[in-house]
Amino acid sequence: MNIEKLVESLGEAGAKVLFNKENRDSIVFDIEAMGEGEILAIILKKLTYEGKFNEAENIIFDKLEKEPTKELCKVASEFYNTLLTKSNEELLLNNFSKEEIYQGLEDIDYIENSLI
């Protein structure tokens, strides 16, 4: 997939999730002007919208393992806090639990506190 298609896809997904807009009204993001945290936030919102909580969590920890930053920790914390608003039924339907959320928040806190 080329970068233009990726930007278009992220713009469409982001607009749909963030602004409840259909594809015909999508927004194109300038991915080159965005930071890694902003891009990750869009990806996580899309995956959360689709109920792919485990996939989103895997992406978070892959990114943090490669290059932990405070910005990525903030985005990860926002992801888990969003999941805290979900019902137990919705979490279980998507193979996730409140315990996993609390563990994820603890892990993110530990990583963030270990950064210099």
pLDDT at 110: 96
pLDDT of residue 1: 43
- How confident is the model at residue 17, as a pLDDT? 58
Alpha-helical (H) ranges within the chain are 3-19, 36-49, 53-66, 70-84, 88-93, 98-114
pLDDT tens, per residue, the chain with 116 residues: 455 565 566 666 665 655 555 555 556 666 667 778 888 999 999 999 999 999 999 999 999 999 999 999 999 999 999 999 999 999 999 999 999 999 999 999 999 999 97
Domain boundaries, the chain: 1-34, 35-114
Longest dimension (CA), the chain: 45
DSSP H or E stretch at residue 96: none
Nearest alpha-carbon partner for 111 in 78, 56, 54, 71:
71
Which residue reads 């393992």 in tokens? 65
Quote the pLDDT of residue 34.
73
pLDDT at 36: 83
* DSSP conformation class of 25: G
pTM (2 d.p.): 0.73
pLDDT at res. 6? 56
Neighbouring CB atoms inside 10 A of 58's CB total 12
